[in-house]
A and B are shown apart, each in its own frame.
Chain A
Amino acid sequence: MISRVARRRRQRAVETERRIVSIADWRRPGIRRTLRTIHGVTLIFLLIVGLGPLLWLAKSAITPTQDTLRTPMAMWPHGFDLSYLVTAWTQTHIDRYFMNTVWIVAGCWLVEITVATTAAYALSVLRPRFANLVMALVLATLFVPAIVLLVPLYLTVVNVPFLNLSMIDTFWAVWLPAGANAFNIVIMKRFFDSLPREIFEAAQVDGAGPFRLFWSIVLPMSRPVLGVVSVFAVIGEWKDYLWPLLVLRNPDLQPLSVRLPTLQPSTELDIFLAALLISSAIPIALFLIFQRMFLRGSGLSGAIKG
């Protein structure tokens, strides 16, 4: 009996490497009680703060306006009604703005992935002589806060140099600038750098040209990093507000993030809250599915973009 307990304890110590609190600390009843309390309180705090607002939104999205206004914290004093979600989707054209968002995000994703993979392949595998210069220029953009770009980028989109055309009120105005993301290139290049060179050499001996090497060998090998970049690209673009606000003036083209603030004054509260719930469903679902990707410290790259 004792040995089993000891074994289990040893096992646990191996599984979770010790941190600040030692096993000896855990054995002392006073400390254990305090720690349990702290952990319990923290969990309750996180539940209320992290999940609470979203649960409230979910509750209110199916509650009549008057109930939400008079008693915001009561649980359905006069019943609930799932039809608000349907009304929001159909009558306030949330479906159209939702599809706009999907289109914008999909195009941005495609541009970001294309630029990042081709650039990283050229800079990491093909390595031309001027690769270091190009990489330095890409890294230099990380030093420039995004705000500096706002006005000149807007003017560039209004009148694209050499082409003399305006991208305002087209999705291109959001899609193409999304590709200029230095973080994607850094992450992708770092991954390509770690791929074994022997495979490339073997493929080249077998007669694979640079295009074939890229498409049939490098891309299939980089599925993990493609996943990371994709998920962050999709959530990042879904959250974007200021840029689409500036370049998409036509309400028929605007994504949810731009439409929601303008819809608010003219929309019944229950419908509006239902629209908010619909708008956050996709990013939250993606997060729940790909949790591990987010929680493995890779949030660092998102932090600096601000």
Chain B
Amino acid sequence: MSSLAGPKVAATSERRRRGLPTWVSRDGLSTLVFLLPLLVIFGVFSWFPIVRALVMSFQETNLVSPPTWVGLNNFVNVLQDPLFGTAVSNTIYFMLLALMFGYPIPLVLAVVMSETRHFKGLYSALAYLPVVVPPVVSVLLWRFFYDASPTGVFNTILGWVGLGPFPWLQDPGTAMPSIVLEATWAAAGGTVIIYLAALLSVPSELYDAAEVDGASIWNKIWHVTLPHMRGILFLTLILQFIATAQLFTEPFLFTGGGPANATMTVLLLIYHYAFQNSLGGDYGMAAALSVMLAAFLGVFTAVYFWLTRSWSATS
């Protein structure tokens, strides 16, 4: 395809005979110029750091002396850190809670919203609005909502129906659910939009056919809509796992890992190793833990890409 212009072909082969490397003569210097931003930016800020993460996880690195190889020491240190177990179980707890709060709500909303006949745009705009609010603003705002005193915003509202006051972020038992609630609020709109698009792709003939067989609305949802959405439901499940495991802003700003490490997640631990150490960052341990998390998430990511690829191939 690169030989778009016929007359140039002769000149190209002429140049090739003169012994220039073939890729220069065929693809031309201008192609290289256009690729340069990609190669430089990805090379320096993506490909190189990815390789470096792997290398660093086997090294002792600080900003002063040259790095030294330490074998698996970083991994052993991470695994022996008592906080590691806490962080892993907290992250899994977080993911499960996020699944419980954040998985059914968008689906129910999307099914109801796709049936509305008026103000369709208003429904989806309202659902998506929290997604565009900067996370820092949402967290700082919700931190105020979660004020544990009886005159806190949520405690005032719950007080109207005789509930509370609840300690929200200040109690190890309720801190994590509180964070998940805000994170769900901030992210659910995106999932609703994905589901709305998926609902449109269910062929309406299937509903017609189900009605001929006397199916009720409930039957149609259960036997037509949901089976058709199986693929996208699995996809959002994986996306949610990948996203929740990497959530940083929310636990960092809400509680910073507290109270009593009840909200210390793997991501906070990585940050803690690298940037909050008074003795200078332990970049090796941070890299080792990142690599472990990446390997774990890599399984999900691989499944995600395999799925999207097989779908785009069939459609």
Which A residues are within 8 Å of any B CB, using their own CB? Answer: 12, 16-22, 24-25, 31, 35, 38-39, 42-43, 46-47, 49-51, 53-54, 56-57, 69-73, 111, 114-115, 118-119, 121-123, 126-130, 134, 137-138, 141-156, 158-161, 176-177, 179-180, 182, 185, 197, 200-201, 204-205, 209-211, 214, 235, 238-239, 241-242, 246, 256-258, 260-261, 264, 269, 272-273, 276, 279-280, 283-284, 286-288, 291, 294-297, 299-300, 302-304, 306
Contact = CB atoms under 8 A, between A and B. Distances in A.
14 contacts: A18-B207, A25-B217, A50-B128, A50-B129, A73-B157, A122-B38, A128-B2, A128-B35, A143-B305, A147-B290, A148-B293, A151-B283, A279-B134, A287-B129
Contact of A239 (B111, B135, B225, B252): B135
Contact of A176 (B41, B52, B267, B290): B41
Given A283-B133, A284-B129, A304-B304, 16 more contacts: A19-B207, A20-B114, A47-B126, A49-B130, A50-B128, A73-B156, A115-B37, A118-B36, A128-B31, A138-B42, A148-B291, A152-B287, A177-B45, A238-B134, A257-B137, A303-B239
B61 A155 contact: yes
B253 A20 contact: no
B246 interface: yes
A143 B306 CA distance: 11
B153 A72 contact: yes
B interface, size bucket: 35 or more
Contact of B37 (A118, A134, A205, A291): A118
Given A128-B27, A179-B41, A149 B126 contact: no
B217 A126 contact: no
A210 B29 CA distance: 10
Contacts of A18: 204, 207-208
B270 to A, nearest CB: 7
Interface in B105-125: 109, 111-117, 119, 121-125
Residue of B61, B248, B291, B298 with most chain A CB atoms under a 10 A cut-off: B248
Given A147-B290, A150-B274, A118 B121 contact: no
A36 B311 CA distance: 36
Interface string B202-244: 1010011001000001001100110000000000100100110
A150 B297 CA distance: 16
A179 B45 contact: yes
Closest 6 A/B residue pairs (Cβ): A128-B27, A297-B197, A119-B38, A152-B49, A306-B243, A122-B34
Given A119-B38, A126-B30, A304 B243 contact: yes
B77 interface: no
Contact of B145 (A42, A53, A130, A177): A53
A205 B5 contact: yes
Contact of B50 (A128, A149, A272): A149
Contacts of A72: 151-153, 156
A20 B156 contact: no
Interface stretch (B11-19, B161-169, B171-179, B185-193): B185-193
Contacts of B36: 118
Given A72-B152, A148-B290, A260 B137 contact: yes
Given A19-B204, A148-B294, A286 B132 contact: yes
B63 interface: yes
B115 A35 contact: yes
Given A20-B115, A22-B207, A122 B35 contact: yes
B260 interface: no
A209 B37 contact: no
A156 B133 contact: no
Contacts of A122: 31, 34-35, 38
Nearest to B5: A204
Nearest to A269: B144
A115 B38 contact: yes
Contacts of A179: 37, 41-42, 45
A111 B50 CA distance: 21
B69 interface: no
A38 B126 CA distance: 16
A145 B293 contact: yes
A16 B117 contact: yes
A280 B270 contact: no
B134 A257 contact: yes
A153 B49 CA distance: 5
B121 A295 contact: yes
A91 to B, nearest CB: 19
Contact of A280 (B109, B133, B283): B133
A157 to B, nearest CB: 8
B302 A156 contact: no
